[in-house]
């Protein structure tokens, strides 16, 4: 775990065992660093101030922000564990850039997504880069790893969840869908090819985010953020 916000959430949430926190020496005073030190002390996690060169050697990304934590990995849960109580899920079907995955997860957590479905193969996983960009979001999400997204969508549909795919060329507008109630799985495709034909067929409906400029401008992370918060908006309005 690298990055101040990611390590802070790791310690604050406390879902995973943390073995040690390394902080680079000579940093400017920071309220976030103070909170990390305090939380590590409360959790009895060893915190060590080390030379910057040692921390850089330990880090897996180019900008660890002066903090690295050694912790047990996120443990995936069975897909069936994500479907209780009308969940809001994000299915990530083929995103390969760790930066995009991290941004997706950060938006998902902010919009109230309960769980994330990731394919085991040919996709980005929870690498140090993705986790750093997610800025602590992984501590608030459950993850299921699946062998194939199409079969996972079939399982989610059989469990009563609506499966809504995002595709820029779809004729249906996302904003015209009723997303306020019931279990929902929002499905996003890869950076270059979008939803595969089989994934598209397994979605109950495929919708687009209307764009009004001359050039399509939403990458997968931005599109997922817009869609997640549209679901959040409708659900909040439906509870009033």
Select from 174, 172, 153 the least CA-distant residue to 227.
174
Q: Which residue segments constitute the domains of the chain, with CATH numbers given?
A: 4-71 (3.30.1330.30), 79-238 (3.40.1280.10)
Q: What is the per-residue pLDDT across 182-203, written as a single tens digit (0 to 9) for each?
A: 999 999 999 888 999 999 999 9
Q: What is the pTM of this model?
A: 0.92
Mean pLDDT of the chain: 94
Predicted confidence at residue 216, as pLDDT, reads: 67
Q: Could you tell me whether strands 18-24 and 47-50 are parallel, antiparallel, or unpaired per DSSP bridges?
A: parallel
What whole-number percentage of the chain has pLDDT above 90?
87
Tokens of 189: 């495709």
How big is the CA angle at 25 (ends 19 and 28), to the nearest 5 degrees? 115
Predicted confidence at residue 192, as pLDDT, reads: 85
Name the DSSP letter for residue 81: G
Nearest-angstrom CA–CA distance, 56 and 65: 10
Select from 102, 137, 132 the least CA-distant residue to 3.
132
Q: What is the per-residue pLDDT across 145-169, written as a single tens digit (0 to 9) for each?
A: 999 999 999 999 999 999 999 998 9
Whether the pLDDT of residue 82 is over 90: the answer is yes
Is-contact 149 54, C-beta < 8 A? no
């Amino acid at each position: 775990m690298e990055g101040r916000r990611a390590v802070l959430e790791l310690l604050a949430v406390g879902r995973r065992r943390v073995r040690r926190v390394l902080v680079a020496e000579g940093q400017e005073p920071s309220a976030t660093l103070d909170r990390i030190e305090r939380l590590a002390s409360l959790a009895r996690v060893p915190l060590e101030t080390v030379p910057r060169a040692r921390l850089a050697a330990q880090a897996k990304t180019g900008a660890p922000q002066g903090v690295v934590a050694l912790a047990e990995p996120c443990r995936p849960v069975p897909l069936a564990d994500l479907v209780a109580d009308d969940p809001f899920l994000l299915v990530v079907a083929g995103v390969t850039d760790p930066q995009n995955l991290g941004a997706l997860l950060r938006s998902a957590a902010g919009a109230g997504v309960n769980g994330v479905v990731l394919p085991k193969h040919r996709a980005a996983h929870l690498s140090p880069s993705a986790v750093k960009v997610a800025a602590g979001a992984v501590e608030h999400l459950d993850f299921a790893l699946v062998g194939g997204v199409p079969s996972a969508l079939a399982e989610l549909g059989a469990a009563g969840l609506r499966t809504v795919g995002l595709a820029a060329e779809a004729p249906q507008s996302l904003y015209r869908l009723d997303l306020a109630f019931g279990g929902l799985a929002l499905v996003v495709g890869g950076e270059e090819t979008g939803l595969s034909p089989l994934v598209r067929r397994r979605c109950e409906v495929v919708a687009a985010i209307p764009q009004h400029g001359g050039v399509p401008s939403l990458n997968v992370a931005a599109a997922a953020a817009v869609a997640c918060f549209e679901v959040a908006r409708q659900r909040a309005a439906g509870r009033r």
